[in-house]
Structure 1
Amino acid sequence: MKFDFHIHAKLSKKTDFSIEHFTTILDEAKMHGLDAIILTEHFNTHRFDDVYGTLDQHFPCNGHYYDRNGFRIFTGMEVDVAEGGHILISGPKEQLLSVRKALDGYTSPDRFIPLEALFELCEPAGLMVIGGHPFRKSNHLYHVAPELLRRFDAFDLNGKDLHEIGIQENIAKVLTLGEQHGVPVVAGSDAHQMFQVGCVYNELPGNYDTVANIRAAIAAGLCKRHISPSLHLQVRAANTVKKLLKKKVEVVDSLHG
């Protein structure tokens, strides 16, 4: 199966969730040959509950993933921590939303949860925990204590960072970090809209119906990462379109305001 482990449902945190926007992302993922994604919308996005609440209305869910005509949408979210990093967590929907509920008091920058406390929430719930874009200048993770870095199930080789830092430089940094701490590395596009989808993805042998099985395959070294030859073009296009769409949203909001 082919997966993207880091993908968003919304254009930005401030925008409302649109099922029409999200389905363009799903269509693009399928066109690129992907079989599934892990949905990692920001935990403190505007009206977070609307994301999964709306998906409940449109697609059947077995507690682990939504099924859109055979395409699987595994449940997850991206969480800010006090150390400054972004953490991708995923797993059974009920456990995921329980952790989200526990984070109600930690949604503002001056109140983000410490990384160790987040692990203490996620590990008993059986959730997979991936360190997002560990070398991003604004939200890096490489600086945290080694004993915390070793608790990650994987580090994120991020599509946006591959473009901004440089493919070879970022690969070297993330792989070295993984080797130093015995943590696997997986790929995530970090797409917020369709143009960035497919810039990176993962390939795992066999069929997977739970995040637990995906995590076991990653731990066994079965994850093969792929980087699109058009990654730079895709990310540049995505950045340009995102800016234009955000301006359009701001104009509409100002008119309605």
Structure 2
Amino acid sequence: MLRVDLHAHTRFFHARPGAPTAFDPVGARLLAWYARRRGLDAVAVTNHDYRYDAVADGVTFLPGIEVSTTMGHVTVVGPDPPERTVPGTLTPEETVALAHDRGCVAVLAHPFRGSTARRSAAAFDAVECNGKHADTHAKARAVAERRGVPVVGGSDAHYPFEVGRGYTEVEGDEATPEAVVAAIREGRVDAAVHERRTDRALGPLYRAIHRTRGTR
């Protein structure tokens, strides 16, 4: 059984347009250090609207991107995610089609925070149990059950110490992009949570930030 965090970032904030920055390599090294401590086998780097192929010692990084669709965020993970997307231009359906054309899976990210994509007709490959919002996991599982797809887990880490608080248990021996994509499509995955005291303490802060931004 592999432990894979399918939703993580190499920068703290995303106020700038979606493009690589000089901090990304630093963020990747910090993510790798914490991922090793948390016993993760792989981490998908899913920065907002741009792909960053991270490299660091001791952990496998999977290529990914978090697409800001017209109805909310969708993470695309696999061997060849798009290099860049323009926020608010792709529909969820178009995002799924783009992911599949490139041999990737499309995951409905944090379905109950600033997103209505769960109401779309997009054929998502999985629904995310987001590490920031443990109180929504039962609802996320219900969405996945109605759609007939598995649930996966991701930390949505913007700060490296957050990595691994939500992750995906993957049945398999290889943490390659192709193997993880196949496991998700075949339903050989499940979401898991490793909540620490710091994560519980940060919960109210995240909710306050999202309320300020007008999201939940």
Q: Give TM-score scaled by structure 2 length.
A: 0.81
Q: Tell me which residue corresponds to 2:59.
A: 71
Verify the 8 A CA contact 1:128 1:212 in the aligned structure 2. no
- Are residue 233 (structure 1) and residue 198 (structure 2) matched? yes
Verify the 8 A CA contact 1:82 1:114 in the aligned structure 2. yes
Q: How much has 1:124 moved relative to structure 2?
A: 1.8
Partner secondary structure for residue 33 of structure 2: helix
Structure 1, unpaired ranges of 5+:
60-67, 242-257
Structure 2, unpaired ranges of 5+:
207-216
Identity over aligned residues, as a percent? 28
Q: Structure 1, residues 207-253: CA drift from partner, whole Å, max 9, x if none?
A: 224323212223333224321242x6326449869xxxxxxxxxxxx
Quick check: which one's helix share is greater? 1
Count residues with an aligned counterpart.
201
Q: How much has 1:17 moved relative to structure 2?
A: 4.1
- Are residue 130 (structure 1) and residue 107 (structure 2) matched? yes
Verify the 8 A CA contact 2:132 2:203 in the aligned structure 1. no
Computing the radius of gyration from Cα coordinates, the structure with the larger value is: 1
Q: Structure 1, residues 87-109: CA drift from partner, whole Å, max 9, x if none?
A: 100222xx32xx335x3xx33x4
- Alignment RMSD: 2.5
Q: Structure 1, residues 80-128: CA drift from partner, whole Å, max 9, x if none?
A: 1112x10100222xx32xx335x3xx33x4xx21122222322222111
Matches within 5 A, 1:79-228: 79-83=67-71, 85-92=72-79, 95-96=80-81, 99-101=82-84, 103=85, 106-107=86-87, 109=88, 112-136=89-113, 138-145=114-121, 148=122, 151-162=123-134, 166=135, 170-228=136-194
Partner secondary structure for residue 122 of structure 1: helix
- Are residue 7 (structure 1) and residue 11 (structure 2) matched? no
